[in-house]
């Protein structure tokens, strides 16, 4: 396995992993822009409109038939956010050429489709096709509304909105439903051409072909050239006062979410923060799982996740309404223990093994390898998987305590279930 | 130990029946970093009536899942405490027809396998720890009670099945699990966790002899119980053609269920039926079909729409699921699509495309040790050799798909379940 990451003259960042080990190859093309209220909904809408088809292969059903013919290749166009950066991602997973029964060139077939999807959309009158835009506007509004279907995700999203009311991190990657109606096909097209010029572009390839310059040419040629810089994320480490918000919904289980600012120690020590996260909350060997769930039987899940780009952490748990306070108390109590250094050497070494194993498992997944390479570039450390493992091995107890001591509670968001009696909800 | 080689996939499986009765299947993947072992009991939520000690027993709904939770606990601590020394990622799940315990790791594989075999084969059940678990599982159940997709799924199955226990929720309700005791769990353990009712699958860069040595050391050798499951015969037809439930949702969530009455197939026949039905659903309702395009373009469905076929030897059904303001319209359109297929037969070009897709997905799945491990379990429970899907795909014909359509859709046992906002 061989890696390379480099910036081409065009300003495009390339991340390649060459390997003979996979039966499937992976390609992703990321267009990164600052996450802003004015453009968030446009980018989300654009991702959906681009999926409607292209002039070379036709509409969605034809594209899908082409993918089926190419051994069930998967292609998708998605929108996501990392810190305060919004990404339009085009990616494909497909069978490596050597397994094609009729020796078809699957890789170049799929790259041709990716190229057409990005650079040859279906347009009319100087804009995207109006019926596609109208319908995808409705689909996007439905998708934004649909987050309430998943109560855990919904409550976490509400917690984010409360905590980052005045920061762009609070903006959803899908944008705000209120901004969608006003977007016209022509405006959306203008936004699209602007993105091809200005977005910071990163292309990742995992597979066995080494002449990637030739292979990937079709997916690079439509971008303008020039310097492209990755959007920055503003980090805030202090908290004036804890925000507490409770909302009620007609559901049975309450969802408790705590938002924390990780502080400057974590900001400057990425690897210590990762270890802190595993000892405290991210796994079934973490303090939160072992205490809030196993010891006190208060919940089925209680876990913490960190976003290193924004330098924040969220802890979430599903509890009976009357147990929310007890769960919150224990979550904070376990954090205080971390701050006092009350974690054993066993807990530390177990967490270290858990993390190292997580890195090593990435070797078997083309998607995970590409994702590690992207994060390494965006975080600026540029370390390979092995080098990151070395860093994890060096982290000391003191560095983890320093991270813990800098963490501050910012927001407590409780979605209180008022559905009460479960009997009424059982299927007869 | 028997060696099974498949030329299409270029993969080899070692298979053995251990002295204890345990079936062991190993696929060696020297180039992979991850290794996995999965230990499965042929015991799921549908096994709720059986004979134990010569007596008929009926256990509460949710018992198989409850036992899965409890086996992690040992006399000297939780299995996770032991796994923690290895870095492995471990978990378990219970479905309608099986309970599976597994881990993936990149280091200390033999240690991990020893932990897996040890905790599953050394149950430690006390009144106290059984009671304690009711709080945790209760919250897991509450979570599912608030999950509209799960509720829609179960609404559909309850609408399709009148007596078959597949209609019972896997975790049960909070009331169902309240009476579970150490005795309930022991009766299940003694019956269904006998090694002869289980399979161990191992995938990765491993030494097959070491795997067998660990089985020798840990897997108990005791007389096999005679397992007699009482699964009632499910009548033809559906319970109700329409089910509705109000929950907090943004837009109605629908599930169209089609009950397959062509059951009691086993082995190759069962695996073949599954592939035929999967191909059929893709050919009728996949994203490249006129059905999908028409409903998507008119805004009746969105990208959430999907179809699925689920089969076991005693039940089988199809699901078409998605979000729509007009679920009845989706159902009508599905019916007309099925009727026209029965009349006109297979479109040759579409058949070839979908077969290509199935082949591509099968080959790709052999990149992932976890997917291989799961497939080895499933084929074993189906009574098949490990690479049966590759063989079937190389033999399948358009005629097979047409015959499958007639068996599956004539008569058409269909139901619609909708979760509405409220």
pLDDT tens digits for B41-62?
A: 999 999 999 998 889 999 999 9
The full set of domain ranges for chain B reads: 2-218, 242-421
User: What integer pLDDT is reported at residue A224 of this predicted model?
Assistant: 83
| B2-218 CATH | 3.30.830.10
Out of A64, A360, A363, closest to residue B288 by CB: A64
For the A2-220 domain, the top CATH level (class) is alpha beta
Contact A199, A228 (CB under 8 A): yes
The pLDDT tens digits of the residues spanning B102-128 come to: 999 999 999 999 999 999 999 999 999
- The answer to whether A344 contacts chain B (CB < 8 Å) is no
Mean pLDDT is lowest, of A49-63, A224-238, A321-335, B386-400, for: A224-238
Cα distance between residue B251 and residue A93, in whole Å = 31
Residue of B nearest to A153 (CA): B147
Q: Reduced to 3 states, what is the DSSP secondary structure of residue A196?
A: helix
Read off the pLDDT of each residue in A151-178 and give the average, rounded to a whole number. 97
B112: exposed, middle or buried (Cβ count in 10 Å: 0-12, 13-18, 19+): buried
Contact A35, A173 (CB under 8 A): yes
Looking from the CA of A2 toward its CB, the CA atoms found within 13 Å total 5
Mean pLDDT of chain A: 94
Backbone angles phi, psi at B296, to 5 degrees: -70, -50
Cβ–Cβ below 8 Å for B360 and A145: no
pLDDT band at A419 (very low <50, low <70, confident <90, very high): confident
User: What integer pLDDT is reported at residue A420 of this predicted model?
Assistant: 61
Percent of chain B with pLDDT over 70: 100
Residue A256 CB neighbour total at 10 angstroms: 28
User: What integer pLDDT is reported at residue B20 of this predicted model?
Assistant: 98
Complex-level ipTM beyond the 0.90 threshold: yes
pLDDT band at B354 (very low <50, low <70, confident <90, very high): very high
Cα distance between residue B315 and residue B320, in whole Å = 17
Query: Going by C-beta distance under 8 Å and a sequence separation of 6 or more, which residues neighbour residue B230?
Result: B49, B50, B51, B56
User: What integer pLDDT is reported at residue A210 of this predicted model?
Assistant: 79
- State how beta strands B414-421 and B242-247 pair: parallel
Out of B81, B85, B302, closest to residue A139 by CB: B302
Residue of B nearest to A421 (CA): B142
| B242-421 CATH | 3.30.830.10
User: What integer pLDDT is reported at residue A288 of this predicted model?
Assistant: 97
Instruction: List B residues 250-279 in contact with A (Cβ-Cβ < 8 A).
Output: 250-251, 253
User: From edge to edge, which strands make up the β-sheet containing B2-6?
Assistant: B2-6, B11-17, B23-28, B198-204, B35-41, B99-105, B89-94
Percent of chain A with pLDDT over 70: 98
User: What integer pLDDT is reported at residue A211 of this predicted model?
Assistant: 86
User: What integer pLDDT is reported at residue B323 of this predicted model?
Assistant: 97
CATH 3.30.830.10 fits A243-425, yes or no: yes
Q: Which residue has the higher pLDDT, A181 or A225?
A: A181
Joined together, the tokens standing for residue A175 give: 């944008």
Cβ–Cβ below 8 Å for B86 and A358: no
Backbone angles phi, psi at A128, to 5 degrees: -70, 160
User: What integer pLDDT is reported at residue A322 of this predicted model?
Assistant: 93
Closest CA to A95 of A28, A26, A3, A17: A26
Peptide bond preceding B411 in cis form (omega within 30 of 0): yes
CA distance B119 to chain A (A): 17
Instruction: List A residues 264-303 in contact with B (Cβ-Cβ < 8 A).
Output: 284-285, 293-294, 297-301
Question: Which of B70, B112, B139 to mutate: most A Cβ within 10 Å?
Answer: B139
User: How many CB pairs below 8 A link A and B?
Assistant: 195
The residue whose two tokens read 């480099």 is A6
Same fold flag, B2-218 and B242-421: yes
Q: How many whole angstroms from its chain centre is CA B334?
A: 25
Whether the predicted pLDDT of A19 surpasses 70:
yes
Whether the predicted pLDDT of A412 surpasses 60:
yes
Which whole-number Å values give the CA distances from A97 to A25, A79, B360, in the listed order? 9, 29, 11
Joined together, the tokens standing for residue B374 give: 């799961």
Active-site residue set of B: 68
pLDDT band at B251 (very low <50, low <70, confident <90, very high): very high
Whether the predicted model's global pTM rises above the 0.90 cut: yes
pLDDT band at A1 (very low <50, low <70, confident <90, very high): confident
Contact B165, B154 (CB under 8 A): no
Cα distance between residue A86 and residue A31, in whole Å = 8
Q: Which of chain A's residues have a Cβ under 8 Å away from the Cβ of B288?
A: 61-62, 64-65, 68
Out of B34, B84, B299, closest to residue A350 by CB: B84
Whether the predicted pLDDT of A426 surpasses 90:
no
User: What integer pLDDT is reported at residue A193 of this predicted model?
Assistant: 96
Closest CA to A396 of A339, A353, A345: A345
Residue A248 CB neighbour total at 10 angstroms: 12
Backbone angles phi, psi at A351, to 5 degrees: -65, -40
User: From edge to edge, which strands make up the β-sheet containing B242-247?
Assistant: B242-247, B414-421, B253-259, B316-323, B306-311
Q: Angle, to 10 degrees, between the axis of helix A324-339 and the axis of helix A397-405?
A: 130
Q: Which of chain A's residues have a Cβ under 8 Å away from the Cβ of B105?
A: 357
- The answer to whether B289 contacts chain A (CB < 8 Å) is yes
The full set of domain ranges for chain A reads: 2-220, 243-425
Whether the predicted pLDDT of A425 surpasses 60:
no
Cα distance between residue B333 and residue B339, in whole Å = 10
Read off the pLDDT of each residue in B21-45 and give the average, rounded to a whole number. 97
The pLDDT tens digits of the residues spanning A347-400 come to: 999 999 999 999 999 999 999 999 999 999 998 888 988 999 999 999 999 999
Whether the predicted pLDDT of A330 surpasses 80:
yes
Whether the predicted pLDDT of A23 surpasses 80:
yes
Cβ–Cβ below 8 Å for A422 and B78: no
Produce one character per residue of B12-45: b if its CB has 16 or more CB atoms within 10 Å, e if not: ebbbbebebbbbbbbbbbeebbbbbbbbbbbbbb
User: What integer pLDDT is reported at residue A3 of this predicted model?
Assistant: 87
The pLDDT tens digits of the residues spanning B254-278 come to: 999 999 999 999 999 999 999 999 9
Contact B115, B83 (CB under 8 A): yes
């Amino acid at each position: 396995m061989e890696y390379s990451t480099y910036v081409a003259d065009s300003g495009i960042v390339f991340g390649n992993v060459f390997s003979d080990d996979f039966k499937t190859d992976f390609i992703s093309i990321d267009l990164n822009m600052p996450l802003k209220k004015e453009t968030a909904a446009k980018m989300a809408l654009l991702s959906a409109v681009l999926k409607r088809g292209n002039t070379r292969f036709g509409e969605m059903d034809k594209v899908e038939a082409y993918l089926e013919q190419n051994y069930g290749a998967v292609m998708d166009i998605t929108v996501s956010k990392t810190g305060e950066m919004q990404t339009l991602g085009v990616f494909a997973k497909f069978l490596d050429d050597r397994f094609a029964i009729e020796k078809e060139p699957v890789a170049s077939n799929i790259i041709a489709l990716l190229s057409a999807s990005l650079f040859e959309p279906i347009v009319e009158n100087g804009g995207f096709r109006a019926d596609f835009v109208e319908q995808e506007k409705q689909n996007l509004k439905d998708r934004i509304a649909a987050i309430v279907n998943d109560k855990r995700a919904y409550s976490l999203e509400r917690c984010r909105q409360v905590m980052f009311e005045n920061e762009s991190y609070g903006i959803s990657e899908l944008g705000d439903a209120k901004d969608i109606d006003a977007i016209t096909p022509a405006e959306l097209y203008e936004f699209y051409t602007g993105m091809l010029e200005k977005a910071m572009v990163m292309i990742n390839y995992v597979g066995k072909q080494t002449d990637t310059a030739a292979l990937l040419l079709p997916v690079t040629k439509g971008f303008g050239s020039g310097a492209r810089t990755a959007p920055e994320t503003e980090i805030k480490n202090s908290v004036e006062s804890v925000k507490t918000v409770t909302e009620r919904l007609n559901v049975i289980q309450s969802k408790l979410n705590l938002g924390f600012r990780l502080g400057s120690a974590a900001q400057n020590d990425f690897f210590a923060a990762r270890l802190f996260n595993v000892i405290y909350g991210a796994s079934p060997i973490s303090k939160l799982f072992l205490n809030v769930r196993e010891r006190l039987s208060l919940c089925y899940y209680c876990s913490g996740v960190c976003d290193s780009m924004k330098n924040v952490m969220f802890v979430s748990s599903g509890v009976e309404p009357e147990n929310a306070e007890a769960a919150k108390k224990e979550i904070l109590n376990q954090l205080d223990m971390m701050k006092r250094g009350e974690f054993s050497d066993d807990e530390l070494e177990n967490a270290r093994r858990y993390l190292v194993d997580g890195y090593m498992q990435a070797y078997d997944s083309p998607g995970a390898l590409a994702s590690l390479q992207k994060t390494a570039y965006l975080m600026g450390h540029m370390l390979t998987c092995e080098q990151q493992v070395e860093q994890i091995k060096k982290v000391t107890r003191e560095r983890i305590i320093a991270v813990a001591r800098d963490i501050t509670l910012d927001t407590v968001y409780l979605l209180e279930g008022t559905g009460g009696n479960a009997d009424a909800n059982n299927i007869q | 130990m028997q060696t099974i080689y498949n030329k299409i996939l270029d993969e080899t499986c070692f298979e053995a029946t251990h002295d204890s009765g345990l079936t062991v299947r190993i696929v060696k993947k020297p180039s992979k970093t991850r290794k996995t072992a999965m230990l499965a009991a042929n015991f799921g939520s549908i096994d709720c009536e059986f004979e134990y000690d010569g007596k008929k027993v009926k256990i509460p709904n949710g018992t198989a899942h409850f036992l899965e939770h409890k086996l992690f606990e040992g006399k000297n601590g939780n299995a996770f405490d032991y796994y923690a020394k290895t870095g492995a990622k471990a978990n378990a799940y219970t479905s309608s027809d099986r309970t599976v315990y597994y881990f993936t790791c990149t280091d200390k594989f033999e240690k991990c396998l020893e932990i897996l075999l040890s905790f599953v084969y050394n149950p430690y059940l006390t009144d106290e720890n059984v009671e304690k678990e009711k709080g945790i599982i209760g919250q897991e159940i509450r979570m599912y009670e608030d999950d509209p997709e799960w509720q829609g799924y179960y609404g559909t199955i309850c609408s399709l099945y009148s007596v078959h226990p597949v209609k019972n929720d896997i975790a049960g309700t909070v009331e169902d699990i309240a009476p579970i005791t150490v005795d309930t769990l022991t009766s299940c353990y003694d019956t269904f966790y006998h090694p002869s009712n289980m399979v161990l699958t191992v995938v990765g860069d491993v030494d097959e002899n070491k795997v067998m040595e660990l089985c020798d050391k840990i897997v108990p050798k005791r007389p096999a119980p005679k397992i007699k499951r009482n699964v009632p015969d499910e009548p033809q037809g559906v319970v109700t053609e329409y089910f509705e439930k109000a929950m907090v949702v943004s837009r109605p969530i629908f599930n169209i269920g089609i009950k397959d009455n062509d059951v009691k197939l086993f082995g190759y026949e069962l695996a073949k039926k599954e592939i035929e039905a999967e191909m059929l659903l893709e050919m009728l309702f996949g994203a490249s079909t006129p059905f999908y395009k028409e409903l998507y373009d008119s805004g009746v469905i969105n990208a959430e729409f999907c179809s699925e076929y689920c089969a076991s030897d005693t039940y089988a059904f199809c699901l078409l699921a998605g979000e729509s303001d007009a679920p009845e319209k989706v159902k009508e359109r599905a019916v007309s699509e099925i009727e026209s297929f029965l009349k006109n037969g297979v479109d040759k070009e579409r058949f070839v495309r979908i077969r290509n897709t199935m082949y591509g997905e099968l080959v790709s799945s052999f990149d992932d040790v976890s997917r291989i491990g799961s497939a080895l379990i499933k084929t074993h429970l189906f009574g098949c050799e490990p690479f049966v899907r590759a063989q079937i795909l190389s033999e399948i014909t358009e005629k097979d798909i047409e015959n499958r359509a007639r068996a599956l859709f004539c008569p058409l046992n269909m139901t619609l379940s909708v979760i509405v906002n409220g």
